Structures are given as C-alpha cells and as structure tokens.
Amino acid sequence: MKMNLKKILIVSAWCISANSLFAQNTNCFLDDFAPKTSEIPVSVLASKTASTPTVTVTLTTDTLGKISKYVFGNAIAVWMGNVTDNPVFVKNVQTLNPSLIRFPGGSWSDIFFWNGNPTDVPDSVYNGTTGKKEKFWAISGKNDWPTTTDNYYKLRQQTGSQGLITINYAYARYGLSSKPVVEAAHLAADWVRYDKGRTKFWEIGNENAGPWEAGWMIDTKTNKDGQPQIITGQLYGQHCKMIADSMRAAATKIGAKIYIGGQVLHYDGTTSGNNVDKTWNSGFFKEIGDAMDFYVMHNYFGAAATADNFLSVATTEPKKNISFIQQDIINKKAFPKPVALTEYNINTLTNPVNASAPISYINGMQATILFNELIKNNFGLGARWLLATGDNGMLYQGDNASLLWQPRPDFYYAYYQQKFTGDHVIPATSNNSNILAYASKFASGETGVVIVNKGNTAQVVKIDPKNIGVGNQYYKYSLTGGTDNGDFSLYVSVNGVNPTGTQWGPRENLETIPASAYSIDDAITFDSPGRSVQFIMVEAGTNKLYPTSVASELKNELEITNYPNPFSASTTIQFQTPSNAHVSLEVFDQTGRKVTTLVNKELLSGIQQVNFDGSLLPEGMYFYQLKVGEFSTTRKMILIK
C-alpha cells in the first residue's frame, strides 16, 4: 500500500508534537538539559558465557526523548533533625549524587514555617479522617530539633544537589488572620526571596486533597474569609494562582527563575470514597489555567505483599498514571504540562503489611524499574521518599548506633542506575516477559542498557544492537540479593562482592568494585541470575552486529542509520544499496518541509556514507528518507544545540 510521504510526515510530526506538549517542548525540567558523557568504569577482563542465549533484547536507534536528570531526586523530612551535617551521612549522599533534594517533606510541609512560627495559627485543627480536632503543632524552620531551613541549604551545598521545596499551602486554610491566603502567599514569597535563586523547583502544598492533611477540614467559626469547611480542587486552584503570583513576583525582583507545580490526581477521582477527589482535577484545571509550570502526583507502588507484585506493578503503574493525567488534561481542556512524581517509594501499606519490603533488595529492584519507567514515559522529576528516616530510609537512622547511616539495598541500585543512564532514551524490547530491558544513549556514543530479571529463573541474555554502532568491549555490573529472609533478602551483592561487617551492601569498597569487561566480538551476551539487575555499558564505535535473528529481517528492508544520533552539528548517514540503482536521500523537518537533498543519482551496490550538516538549522527532530528504486524507508534524527 502506497501512501503520500508528506502526509505521513505531517501526521507523524503532529503526533510527536502532541506528545511533546506533555514531555519535551514545554518541559521546565529540560531547560538546563546538557549532553552527557559516559564514564567507562574501571574493569577486569572476564570470560563471556558459553551458554546458549535464552532471551534476546533488541535495541533500536529511534530516540524516545531527552532524559531529565531530575528523575534521580530524593528527599529529606524535617523530622530527620539537625544532623544533616553528619560526615558519614553527607559522604553517602555525595556518593549517591541525587540530582535534587525535596524539603521539608510530606505532611509536615503543611505545618512548617520556614522562618519561625507565626502568631495567627490555631491551637487545634481538624483531623479530616476522624472529623475531630487535635492539638496543632507548628514546626519552625528555626529551632533546635527539626531540620532547619539553613541546614537544608547547607546539605545541598555539600552535595551539589538542586532543590524542590514544598511550601505550606494549608496555612491559607487554617490561618486565623482576616486574609489567610494572602498571608500564606507572603510566607511563600518571603521564602523565595530568602532562597536567592538557589532553588529552581517549588510545589504548592502536599497531598491537600487527602483528609489526613492539615487544612483539608477547617473550623469555619475561626476562618475569617468565608472559606468552606472542606477543601475542593477549585478552591485549591484559586489559592495556587494567588500564591504562585506572589512567588513569581518575588523571584523577578531578585532576578531568579523558578518553576512552580500544583497537585493533580493520577486516577479517576469520580470513583473515590473521598468526595473531594470526585471533582479535584476538574475544579483545579478550571481555576489554575496556565499558572502552573508542572503538575504534581504521588504514588507508592505495590498492591500485594509479594515480590512478584511489587516488581510487576512498577512496570505498568507509571505509564498508567501519566497516561491518565495526560488524557484528563485533554478531556478537561487544561493546559498541558510535564508531570513530576514528587513523592514515591514501595508501598508499605499492603495487606498484610510487609515490613521487610522497604529495606530489602526487592525495593532496590523496584527502584530500578521505576527509574527507567519514569524515563521511558517522560516524567520530568522523581523524588524518592526518603534519604533517612528511622529504620526504613535509604540510609538507616534507627536506634542502633552501630548501624547509623548505613545504606539499605536500594542505595546501591540507585547509585549504578544514574551512572549507566545516558541523555536520550531509546527503545529496548525483550522476548521474555520476565526480562525487562531499558536503554539510553550518551552524547559520547556509548549505549547504557539496564536488564531486570524479575523472575526466579536464571537466563542468558543476548543484546542485539541492530543498527547501533558498537566498539570492542562492554562492561557489566550485576546486583543480586542474598539467601536470607525468603524473597526479601536484606542484603545486596555487586559482581559477587558481598557486604562486610554489619553492612547491607558492599559500601566500604563500592566505588572501587571493578566492572566485568567482555570483548564484543560478534555478540553481547551475559548471565542474568534470577531476581537480579544488570547494568551494561557498551562502548561507542562503528562496528555493526547483525545477529541471525536480525539479519533475516534486514534482508527485507533497506539498511540505513545515522551516527551520532542525537548530533550537535553534523551526522553521518550510512546505508547499504543491495544492487546498482537510482538513489534519493532527502531530509525533512517535522512539519514535512524538505530541508535538503543529499543524494539524487545512480549508485553502485555497497555501503554508502553521506554527511549531513545541521549547524545552521534549529534544534529539533528531523526525518531522512532513502529511496532505492521502488523501495523507500524513513528514519528520525535529533539535532541538539
């Protein structure tokens, strides 16, 4: 069936642009995007497995989008206390290298006053879950116990992390002044001024649609501006607009650029038992208009207390969540914005409760899946909950002094994930449902691949890079759990290096553990034990591997690729003509407009290379179409400046 090329390109470009409204073009989390150079790890030469592959993972050169570095965020909560300058804690956070740190954290954000306690707060507030009043405890950012505002900034300075600050929205509800919304806006704006441009990302309130949150239900007898007893999405939207205006005005005066987010539901609120949910998104979208830079959601992943469920839910839920939000935006004619998952982790509220889950290597495996699903589905930001809190944080802060600040297993998975993630995500598919595959490209040419074996059976994995050029070696780290505690081992090993002493992972020598290095030759293969994760770095190069499974497919299509892709100035388009024929090679922009004709003549059979110079063109997505005789094929390439 023949179709008009221009129509195909226009339709394709429209689809890409529509998706980009949510993901790329208006994404404030990509405003400081930069090409990423890989770090080839220290390695020791290892022998490649001789076993026959049981799983094939196929990579393709199509780029799914830029990767926001802010998916690698974390958080601290005020109740951590003023111990954020502990040298062991700081060293571990520096090693983890989170791209941002959220503060002041969770529900305490809505009772936190960054510059000290005000005088216009009540003695008691309603607990929406019980409908009864409870004593109100305001938390001051200037104190002796909870983490101070200044100590938060100090931690970020020590670790080089960007910030995400959750301002106290609930004060606009329970405040006792004649204009509580104005006072809450002033409090937020004063923080922006004090911040002096150090923090790019801000969100208004925390889970305010939930009855567990301060301000969900207020005492109408003490409220002086006629607010309803129970919050609504429409009211929250009205207040967000006022608060955001004050914050942006403050930022403008100090010459700072900030981005502000508001809360949306990632599920159908009309079926919720909480009446506030039923109209939250419709009310919020109606009032907020274009006033937010991003939309905020929270989620804890897992529906049952089993390893299978924790891992399976992580593979499906992020896409389900962001797809709902994007469709709801369309349905309600709201402004498209990127989505930030500003609080998430494994779900500890399963029935029955699984106390081992958050401190087990299964949480590390789930974290790996979630990192990659956030990237693949174009989330702008992710902030894991929490860096440290009691027994369950990423870093231990419980009562056992000998274990203080030791990393839990998820720390190790997060450490390697960031190192093996490039700047653009590319497709990776597996022919085995228990083997999850994710891939990305570095601007320096390397390919990062993450394999998650969520099944109990060991597999031998073969990677088919298809049209991706490779070098001479690939490098591997393999993370596995221990044999303790059933499916929820509390320990993790890296390339066979086990924890020592009281550690839950090989922390003492983590940064010097060598990767296993293998010669590529004609195949990329490796063992993947049951319930394990492999982080793979494939060297950059121009060698092409055409395994049997792929070669048979290539016989029926024109072979064409370009490298590098993405590119910053010029790229080489390489293709193979199976016989002497007239060849046309043209480049189009994403509107379908022809940019240039690179080839239009008779060529002999063989491998051809043509240079495309994009140095004078605007950055964006381009298409190149190859016609050889009666056959044609089209590919995408991305120009970045």
Residues 548-595: pLDDT tens digits? Answer: 443 343 344 567 899 899 989 999 999 888 777 889 999 988 777 899
According to the model, what pLDDT value does residue 549 have? 40
507 CB contacts (<8 Å, ≥6 apart)?
A: 92, 406, 407, 499
**Structure tokens belonging to residue 604:** 């002999």
3-class secondary structure, 585: strand
**Structure tokens belonging to residue 262:** 């508001």
Residues of the chain with CATH 2.60.40.1180: 43-63+424-538
User: How far lies 184's CA from each of 41, 83, 177, in Å?
Assistant: 49, 29, 10
Residues β-bridged to residue 538: 447, 474
Pairing of strands 620-628, 631-639: antiparallel
User: How far lies 344's CA from each of 247, 383, 415, 454, 617, in Å?
Assistant: 26, 7, 17, 20, 40
According to the model, what pLDDT value does residue 4 have? 34
According to the model, what pLDDT value does residue 555 have? 40
418 CB contacts (<8 Å, ≥6 apart)?
A: 72, 97
According to the model, what pLDDT value does residue 591 have? 76
Express each pLDDT in 443-466 by its tens digit.
999 999 999 999 999 999 999 998
Residue 592, sorted as left (phi over 0), alpha (psi -120 to 50) or beta, turns out to be left
3-class secondary structure, 361: helix
Residues of the chain with CATH 2.60.40.1930: 557-639
Give me the average pLDDT of each 10-residue run along the chain (641 residues): 32 36 69 96 95 95 93 97 96 98 96 95 97 96 92 98 98 98 98 98 98 98 98 98 98 98 97 97 98 98 95 98 97 97 93 90 98 97 96 94 97 98 97 97 97 97 93 97 97 97 96 97 96 98 66 52 90 84 89 90 87 92 85 86 84
Question: Domain 43-63+424-538 falls in which CATH fold?
Answer: Immunoglobulin-like (2.60.40)
pTM reported for the whole predicted model:
0.84
Find where tokens 């990677």 sit.
463
Residues β-bridged to residue 464: 58
Find where tokens 């006629």 sit.
226
CA dihedral of 70, 164, 197, 33, whole degrees rounded to 10: 10
Residues of the chain with CATH 3.20.20.80: 68-105+122-135+147-419
In 502-569 the beta strands, taken as DSSP E runs, fall at 515-519, 524-528, 532-538, 559-563
Is the N-terminal amide bond of 566 cis, ω within 30° of 0?
yes
According to the model, what pLDDT value does residue 546 have? 55
Question: Domain 557-639 falls in which CATH fold?
Answer: Immunoglobulin-like (2.60.40)
For the stretch 463-489, what's the b/e string if a residue is b when 16 or more beta carbons lie within 10 angstroms of its beta carbon?
bbbbbbbbbebbbbbbbbbbeeeebbb
Please name the CATH architecture into which domain 68-105+122-135+147-419 falls: Alpha-Beta Barrel (3.20)
Pairing of strands 55-59, 459-464: parallel
Largest CA distance in the chain: 87
